[in-house]
Amino acid sequence: MIYDTIIIGGGVSGTAVARELSRYTGKLCVVERCEDVCCGTSKANSAIVHAGFDAKPGSLMAKLNVAGSKTMAALSRELDFPYRQIGSLVLCWDEAQRPQLEHLYRQGLENGVEGLEILSGDQVRAMEPHVTQNCVAALWAPSAGIVCPFGMTFALAENAARNGAEFRFDTTVTGLARADGLWQVQTDRGILQARTVVNAAGVYAARLHNLVSSHPLHITPRKGEYCLLDKQAGSHVSHTIFQLPGKLGKGVLVTPTVHGNLLLGPTATDIEDFEGVNTTAQGLEAVLRTAALSVDNLPTRQIITSFAGLRAHEDGHEFVLGEVSDAPGFFDCAGIESPGLSSAPAIGILLAEQVAAKLGLSRRADFVPTRKGIVNPAALSFKARQALVRDNPAYGQIICRCESVTEGEILDAIRRTPGARSLDGVKRRTRAGMGRCQGGFCAPRVLELLSRELGVPMDQLTKAGGGSRLIAGTNKDSV
């Protein structure tokens, strides 16, 4: 099989490119080293759709952030994933910092961000009563939003698959070579061939780039640690609350999530370990201390988990997108640090257009632009829920008590393409295990459903692919 395009990496960037490229006639494959999409940075971030005032005017980051943010509402309706435009505030604590706030305001105007306003401290506290007394002003950006990064990535991947894209999981690209006018994509499961390659490998994108080009890229993993609070704390603030950005990024934020939790973080620390997603006592303590400068009385007893993600920080702090000058047909989608999630819809369009032009592909008449998410019975009217349960009693069986997730939703998550194959795959699609008990009750039931549906013995199932098996010993009755 010779593919027109192989996309390396099934994060939000790779799946956005796949979705946009599936509008065209070519044969397309996403190669992902993990067992699912959304296993890298796309699963561990602040989930903010930034308005677009942070990036330098004229940069790709600025243009694609604003373009992505403007299309997010329509995309979330088309592909049925959770998104809410709640607006953001950047707090200024000191009159001496006001010029920095005004700079952000002017930069935002130049980038084309709509509705920006500088508010007084009192106006801010009227909107957000828990903002601390030391706030003297804030930049209000009504176009900012929050999104479910898992929901968005799964939606893009499912829609790409619906339109013919193939997905190869548990497949790591180990080498790249050019022979007979094709890219030979060497993987730990054999060689794949393609006319073009899109390198959307997150923190590893520079390593792949440097295999094909004599103009090296350098990416530093920049760790961000978070505390996630229970839904009971979710209404402590109702907008995303930033601090003025520092040298290493946008600072620590306090924000509600689309699912009603409260999120505090991230830190920003450059590290050497490309897999270093552990949290640290020091990092989490810094999150709590810094978040408290913005918001009073944070209900920190409601913390239910902590996590960390790695920004793919490129030395020039810019997205690196497009065909590599000395590697014909090899397209970079590299250096996709924040605002990568916000920009993903626009990154997908840009790269798909470039790849399609290179290959001379035409638009397909039968492209299906829409996708429906997993039905959440709790969001239905009583009558509609009754009808659903009557048709399919699995929607009447609660598996995850904290998040009220039913067997019907979990079965749907497993049966989709690409579908869940691990405990985390189910968790990210349905929220089973994301609540207060973090899977303590539902994990065994979810494993039983995975085992039954996939025909895989319980002791072969994993939390998150690879060697992350959960059960030792064989359960002969489990299949």
What's the burial of 297, exposed, middle or buried (CB within 10 Å: 0-12/13-18/19+)? exposed
Residues facing 226 on adjacent strands: 307
116 burial level (CB within 10 Å; 0-12, 13-18, 19+): buried
Q: List the interface residues with ligand FAD, window 217-236 (CB under 6 A).
A: 224
- Residue among 173, 264, 402, 413 that touches ligand FAD (CB under 6 A): 173
Told to check if 339 binds ligand FAD by CB under 6 A, we report yes
Interface stretch with ligand FAD, choices 40-48, 52-60, 279-287, 403-411 (CB under 6 A): 40-48
Q: Residue 424 and residue 430: Cα distance in Å, rounded?
A: 10
Which member of 201, 263, 286, 447 binds ligand FAD (CB under 6 A)?
201
165 lines the binding site for ligand FAD (CB under 6 A): no
Check residue 10 for interaction with ligand FAD (CB under 6 A): yes
Q: How far is the CB of 238 from ligand FAD (least distance, A)?
A: 17
Residue in the structure block whose two tokens are 């804030």: 138
Q: Which is nearer to ligand FAD, 92 or 192 (CB)?
A: 192
Query: How many Cβ atoms sit within 10 Å of the Cβ of residue 476?
Result: 7
In angstroms, give the least distance from the CB of 193 to ligand FAD: 16
281-285 LR contacts (CB < 8 Å, sep 24+): 283/223, 283/225, 283/308, 284/225, 284/227
Helix then strand count (H, E) for the chain reads 12, 22
Q: Which is nearer to ligand FAD, 261 or 342 (CB)?
A: 342
Rounded Cα–Cα distance for residues 166 and 51 (Å): 33
Element housing 28 (H / E): strand 28-31
Q: Which residue is nearest to ligand FAD (CB)?
A: 340
Q: Which among 98-106, 309-317, 354-362, 457-465 is the span making contact with ligand FAD, rule CB under 6 A?
A: 309-317
Per CB under 6 A, the list member of 23, 50, 428, 463 interacting with ligand FAD is 50
Stretch that binds ligand FAD, among 29-37, 137-145, 378-386, 391-399 (CB under 6 A): 29-37
Q: Rule CB under 6 A: say whether 47 interacts with ligand FAD.
A: yes
- Identify the three-state secondary structure at position 344: helix
Q: Hey, is 473 helix, strand or coil?
A: coil
- Count CB-CB contacts under 10 A for residue 2: 11
Task: Check residue 202 for interaction with ligand FAD (CB under 6 A).
Answer: yes
Residue 14 host element (H or E): helix 12-21
Q: Is 9 in the site for ligand FAD (CB under 6 A)?
A: yes
Q: Which of 13, 111, 294, 376 binds ligand FAD (CB under 6 A)?
A: 13
Phi, psi of 381 (to 5 degrees): -65, 160
Among 31, 55, 212, 324, binds ligand FAD (CB under 6 A): 31
Span interacting with ligand FAD, options 9-17, 94-102, 410-418, 437-445, rule CB under 6 A: 9-17
The length of the chain is: 479
CB of 219 to ligand FAD, least distance (A): 11
Asked if residues 450 and 414 have their Cβ atoms less than 8 Å apart, the reply is yes
Residue 236 annotated as catalytic? no
- Decide: is 33 part of the binding site for ligand FAD (CB under 6 A): yes
Q: Please, which residue, 264 or 399, has the CB nearer to ligand FAD?
A: 264
Residue (41 or 159) nearer to ligand FAD, CB = 41
Alpha-carbon gap, residue 209 to 330, rounded angstroms: 9
* Choices 51-59, 199-207, 274-282, 299-307; region in contact with ligand FAD by CB under 6 A: 199-207
453-460: long-range pairs with CB below 8 Å, 24+: 453/411, 453/414, 453/415, 454/414, 454/421, 455/479
Beta-carbon contacts of residue 309 (< 8 Å; ≥ 6 apart): 41, 43, 44, 45, 223, 224, 226, 266, 277
The residue with tokens 């997908």 is: 348
Q: What is the token pair recorded at 284?
A: 């989490």
**Candidate list 234, 266, 345, 408; residue touching ligand FAD; CB under 6 A:** 266
| Residue 341 touches ligand FAD, criterion: CB under 6 A | yes
Binding map of ligand FAD across residues 436-475, x = CB under 6 A, - = no contact: ----------------------------------------
Nearer to ligand FAD, 40 or 408 (CB): 40
Give the residue with the Cβ less far from ligand FAD, 158 or 409: 158
The answer to whether 284 and 306 are in contact (CB under 8 A) is yes
* List 151, 340, 373, 435, residue binding ligand FAD (CB under 6 A): 340
DSSP letter string over 168-201?
A: E-S--EEEEEEETTEEEEEEBTEEEEEEEEEE--
> Which member of 19, 63, 311, 313 binds ligand FAD (CB under 6 A)?
311
By the rule CB under 6 A, 204 interacts with ligand FAD: yes
Is 313 one of the binding residues for ligand FAD (CB under 6 A)?
no
Q: Give the residues lining the site for ligand FAD (CB under 6 A).
A: 8-14, 31-34, 39-42, 45-48, 50, 172-173, 200-202, 204, 224, 266, 309-311, 336-342
Residues forming the active site: 50
